[in-house]
Amino acid sequence: MSANLGVRLELPTAPTPLPMLQIQFKPPEAKVPGYVPMVVPPSNLEAPPGVKEETTKEQPVAPKVQIPVLDIQMPLPTTEVVMTATYAAVAAVATTTLATPFFDQIKKKLQKFLQGKIDKWKQSKKNKKNYLVK
């Protein structure tokens, strides 16, 4: 029997593959610690002939105050030390001056609150005592 039905069978074809995802991989980088080698000259190192030695400026002598009664000299502080102490003192005084009224108000309200609680406690204790006596 030969059957030619005129129908053509279509076999399934392989699906088209999906495009491959490309992963962007960046290898890790590391910062390797390093140091600059320090060169220590030998102890017998001398300057070449014809080189003049540099002279360093001498530090100015700090001013001193003579205290006659004790017969001692006291060094005066540098300008930087005096300025820093001045700024700290002004900041402390300003903070205290501005904060005192706030703390006074809080103190008054807290005292009033606590006194009210103490008075209530005394009254309740007195009421209990009167109740037990009767």
> Do residues 67 and 73 lie in contact, with contact meaning Cβ atoms separated by under 8 Å?
yes
pLDDT band at 133 (very low <50, low <70, confident <90, very high): low
Confidence (pTM): 0.36
pLDDT band at 92 (very low <50, low <70, confident <90, very high): very high
Whole-number pLDDT of residue 105? 93
